[in-house]
């Protein structure tokens, strides 16, 4: 894995995530499927990672409670995506860590997600824990609920 040394992190809008969300998470589906419920909520934030002027990766954090968990300020990690030509270079880790720091600044101490089965090792390396059993999202395949608290 060749790390990329120079990148810029910026907060972006939900709509600005679509050029990365669509090819990575919604390939073959209408662009409209890239819009998530809660994208425009005032408590939601979107992080974009740029290589030069190219948006290479995105992640969204929504303040959202999962019924499995009792934590007070829960954030849901959604739409984590890095363009294929920038994958396996440590950028996904940078995005998740940046999002975690912003959650902490906002008083949150708990993140959960519906993680694709193929992404489980990535999230486990970042300290996320699987809970429950596998379930299938029709448009995205097998998933598990994962969480992290501090």
**Would 26 be classed as within a structural domain?**
yes
pLDDT in tens, 66-88: 988 987 899 999 999 999 999 99
pLDDT in tens, 103-123: 999 999 999 999 999 999 999
Return the pLDDT at 125: 98
**CATH code: domain of residue 107:** 3.40.630.30
Does residue 3 surpass a pLDDT of 90? no
Counting Cβ atoms within 10 Å, is residue 30 exposed (0-12), middle (13-18) or buried (19+)? exposed
**Would 94 be classed as within a structural domain?**
yes
Distance of CA 38 to the CA centre of its chain: 14
Return the pLDDT at 1: 65
CA distances from 102 to 42, 53, 63, 97 (A): 14, 23, 12, 9
**Would 2 be classed as within a structural domain?**
no
Identify whether the C-beta of residue 19 lies closer than 8 Å to the C-beta of residue 49. Answer: no
pLDDT band at 17 (very low <50, low <70, confident <90, very high): very high
Show the domain range for 71. 8-149
* Averaged pLDDT for residues 113-139: 96
| Number of domains the chain contains | 1
Whether this prediction's pTM lies above 0.85 is answered by yes
**Would 31 be classed as within a structural domain?**
yes
Residues 116, 128: Cα–Cα separation, whole Å: 13
């Amino acid at each position: 894995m060749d790390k990329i040394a120079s990148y810029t992190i910026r907060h972006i809008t939900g709509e600005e995530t679509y050029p990365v969300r669509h090819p990575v998470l919604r390939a073959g589906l209408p662009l409209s499927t890239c819009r998530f419920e809660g994208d425009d909520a005032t408590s939601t934030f979107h992080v974009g990672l740029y290589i030069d002027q190219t948006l290479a990766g995105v992640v969204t954090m929504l303040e959202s409670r999962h019924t499995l968990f009792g934590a007070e300020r829960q954030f849901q990690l959604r739409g984590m995506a890095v363009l294929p030509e920038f994958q396996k270079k440590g950028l996904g880790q940078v995005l998740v860590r940046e999002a975690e720091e912003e959650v902490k600044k906002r008083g949150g101490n708990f993140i959960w997600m519906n993680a694709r089965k193929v992404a489980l090792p990535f999230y486990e390396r970042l300290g996320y824990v699987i809970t429950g059993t596998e379930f299938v999202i029709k448009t995205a395949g097998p998933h598990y609920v994962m969480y992290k608290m501090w």
